Every structure is written in structure tokens, then in C-alpha cells.
Structure 1
Amino acid sequence: MIYEKRTYTINPLKMADWLALYKSDAFAVQTEHLGKLIGFFFTEIGVVNQVVHIWAYESLDDRLVRRARMAQDERWLTFSRKNRELAAVERLESVLMRPTDFSPLQ
């Protein structure tokens, strides 16, 4: 199992609009294609104005197949266009992680 942590730094003046757009246009598409969502968060202390979501995949190949399939979905393409037009995302960081042998999440 691998986990992907995606961290988006959002323009603070556009955070509410971005969350509303994601909820209405992207959340269902991502959960349909990507599968197991571990959590979806926003930061309050430390580095603020960030949204973090964590996804679980069986393998790197599983991730590649799932993301490629999602990239072909018209609903995802529509969200991507609206996301670019909103111009709220200032930075994206994606980290792939493997659990230790003693991690509760395997």
C-alpha cells in the first residue's frame, strides 16, 4: 500500500470559493476514480491557507492507472478548467509515502 499526500496552498481570498468548487465539481469524481480517501483537511495553525488530502493506493501502478483514467473523465476536465479560471491554487506539493511495518495504516 502507498499513500499520497497532496498539499495545495490556496490564495486566502479564494479559499471559500476553491473549497466550494472542489466540493461541487471534483470530490465525487476523485472518489469515484481514485478510490480510498484517507482524509481531507485544511490547516489552521502553522502554514495556513493549505488544503491537504491523503489517498491510499495498492501500488504505484494502481495510482498511475487510476489518475490516468480520471484525467480522461469529462467531469474532471471541466473541474480542471474552472480551477484554472479561478486561479486560487498557488502551489501544489505531492508526496508518496509507504507505511512502516508498525504503522496502524498498512
Structure 2
Amino acid sequence: MIVDVRIYTCLPNRMMEFVKLYEEKAWPLQLKYLENCLGWYTTVEGELNTVVHLWSYKDQGDREQRRAAMAADPAWASFLAEGAKAGMLVKMENRIVKEAPHFTKWKAK
């Protein structure tokens, strides 16, 4: 299993606007295509105006297939265009991580 950690930094005072747009337009599509959301968070302390969400995939091939299907949906292109036009984001990051062997063994207990 791999986890796609997605980190979005919003302009000050625009995070909730981004969250609202995401909830209305992107969330239903991501649940449909990506399915396996492990968590969706906004920061309380640390780097403010930041949204973090995590998506689980069987492997990199599974991730690529699911994301390609979502990208082919015209509703996804519409969300991206609306988000770009609104100009709420400063930075977007994603990291692919996997469990360390000791954690996998601990979790299995």
C-alpha cells in the first residue's frame, strides 16, 4: 500500500473559501474515482492556511489509473479551472509514502 499525501497552502484568509469549493466540486469526484480517503484536515497550528489530505492506493499503478480516470472527467477540469481562476492557492505539494516495515509488523498485531 502507498499513501498520497496532498498539501495545499492557501492565501491568508482564503482557506475556508478553498475548502468550500473543494467540498462542493472536487470531493464527490475524488470519492468516486479515488475512493480511499484516509483523512482530510486543515491546520490548527504550524504553517497556517494549509489543507492536508491523504489517499490510499494498492500501488503506484492503482494510483495512476484512478487519477487518470478522474482527470478524464470534464467535471474535474471544471473544478481545476474554477480553482485557478479564484487564485486561492500559494503552493501545492504531494508526497507518496509507504509504511515502514516496523510499523507494518506492529499494526498486524
Structure 1 length normalisation: TM-score? Answer: 0.94
Aligned length: 105
Q: Distance in 1 between matches of 2:47 and 2:74?
A: 33
Q: Is the 8 A contact 2:13 2:49 kept in 1?
A: no
Secondary structure of 2:14's match?
helix
Deviations 1:25-49, CA, capped at 9 Å, x for gaps: 0000011111100000011111111
Deviation sequence 1:57-87 (CA, Å, 0-9, x none): 0000000111111001011111011000111
Unmatched segments (≥5 aa) in structure 1: none
Indicate the SS of the match to 2:63: helix
Q: Are the aligned partners of 2:4 and 2:56 in contact in 1 as well (CA < 8 Å)?
A: yes
Equivalent residue, structure 1, for 2:66:
66
The corresponding residue for 2:28 is 28
Equivalent position of 1:87 in the other structure? 87
In the alignment, the residues of structure 2 paired with residue 2 and residue 26 of structure 1 have an alpha-carbon distance, to the nearest angstrom, of 21
> What residue identity is the alignment partner of 1:40?
W
Which protein shows a greater Rg?
2
**Structure 1 residue 16 displacement after superposition:** 1.7
Identity %: 31
SS in 2 for 1:38: strand
Where do 4+ consecutive residues of structure 1 move more than 6 Å? none
1:46 equivalent in alignment to 2:46: yes
Q: Which residue of 2 aligns with 1:6?
A: 6
Normalised to the residue count of structure 2, the TM-score between the two structures is 0.91
